[in-house]
Amino acid sequence: MKKTITRAQGFSLLELMVASAVGLLVIAAMASLFKIGMDATFTVTQRAETQQNMRAAIELMTKDISLAGSGLPSGGLQLVVNGGATQSKFACNQTGTCYVPNNTYPNSGTGVQNYMYGIIPGFNNGVQNAAVITAAPGQVNDSITSIYCDYNFSLTNFTFAFPTATQSTVTVNNMAVQPNNILAAGGLAPGDLILFIVSTPGNGTGNNGTSLIQTGAVVAEVTSIPSNTTINFAAGDALNFNQNGGVGMTNNLASLAGLGAGTQMSACRLYAVTYFLQVPAAGGTVQTPRLMRQVNGQDAVPVADNIINVQITYDVINSIAGTISANQVDPIGAGSSPALIQKVNLWVMGQSTTTAGRKAQSMYLASSVSARNMSFCNSYSASTTACN
């Protein structure tokens, strides 16, 4: 009997190689699609995070700028002057660290030094230690300082009494019904600025029905609070407000001693808020820039990460023509008074990184803020003196 041998059919080597190649191509395509999807997800996430950072930065800056000038005398405030006085500082902390290169108060329009405005523009003065941010367009980064009274912390319940003008340390007595409020959370601390406004008998009406007129205003820096009834304003303060030496020195705290009968004094805590960029370094590695906020003589705190550029322009009243000069990048350099700033135009750029920092996406947000407490210009008036 003859046996029939049946041979099993299989893949040839060539067929196996072709099938393997096709399979590898399919796997590679799927892996590539998966990587593209993951990269897209990561990119969208980073963009959303960067946009969120920029929105937070814009919103906080908008709040402070909109309050600029609140409580300050119209047109600004003369700080310590004469008798060998030197310029006061902003954007510095209690240890002497100053966060922007140019940190002294500017001149007034008449050339008088040491003048406080509601807004202090900082053209090309926006990076701590003048560090270079290579990704910033044109290498221009601006800072801005907004100054206003803090009406959330009322000092109207406190009675202020001053000793003689010859003392280097001036004390303020707290006569409030609840004296501990001055030291409570959110209360006064070393480095805070207090604006004292002096009113004397004249035109106007005071709280007690007496006819009063504002005759002076002085800013001083709190140096220590030894008790809930005493605040010290010692000379040699970090921001250089408490100067009291030199013959003929004016607009300092010592000038308030020995005020005449009928004189009344009100006070508020000032906020001098500066926004700038910082390029931190950690472990020898330079980190991405971040936007910082610094108040009075306190330490600066971060507001938003991955902010690489801040550029600011200003709409300023032309006090001669009675019109608005829009988008001035450097009002002080152009000879315009910061007291006539009407609107602040913000341009903030953020940068997100992907693929271990080898790819970067940049985007920006823009906004305009009205300085509602600054001077008012009646552009419909034919008079050239219509601007305050």
Q: What is the DSSP letter of 266?
A: E
Q: Is the pLDDT reported for residue 323 higher than 70?
A: yes
The number of CA neighbours under 13 Å toward the Cβ of 262 is 12
Residues 101-119 pLDDT 10s: 999 999 876 666 889 999 9
Strand partners, 309: 349
Q: Where do the structural domains in the chain lie, given as residue ranges?
A: 48-370
Cα 246-249-252 angle, rounded to 5 deg: 120
Residue 250 class from Cβ within 10 Å (0-12 exposed, 13-18 middle, 19+ buried)?
A: middle
Query: What six digits make up the tokens of 236?
Result: 């040699």
Coil/strand/helix, residue 33? helix
Burial tier of 127 (Cβ tally within 10 Å: 0-12, 13-18, 19+): buried
The pLDDT assigned to 249 comes to: 84
For the chain, how big is the Rg over CA atoms in Å?
31
Q: For residues 209 and 225, give the distance between their C-alpha atoms in angstroms, rounded to a whole number.
A: 33
pLDDT band at 283 (very low <50, low <70, confident <90, very high): low
Which pLDDT does position 213 carry in this prediction? 60
Q: Quote the pLDDT of residue 240.
A: 94
The segment with the largest mean pLDDT, out of 267-271, 273-277, 285-289, is 273-277
pLDDT > 70? residue 253: yes
Provide the sign of the torsion angle of the four alpha carbons 210, 149, 188, 97, taken in this order.
negative
Cβ-proximal residues to 136 (8 Å cutoff; 6+ apart), any chain: 308, 309, 349
pLDDT band at 138 (very low <50, low <70, confident <90, very high): confident
CA distance 315 to 371: 10
* CA separation for the pair 211, 199 (Å, rounded): 9
Output the average pLDDT for the chain. Answer: 79
Q: Which two tokens stand for residue 305?
A: 């990460």
Q: What is the pLDDT of residues 201-246, one digit of tens each?
A: 665 555 555 555 656 788 999 988 877 677 788 888 999 998 887 7
Please spell the DSSP secondary structure of 94-126, one letter per residue.
Answer: TTS-BSSS--B----TTS-SSEE-SEEEETT--
Assign 5 a pLDDT band (cuts: 50, 70, 90).
low
Question: Model-level pTM?
Answer: 0.82
> In this predicted model, what pLDDT tens digit does every residue of 143-155 receive, in sequence order?
999 999 998 887 7
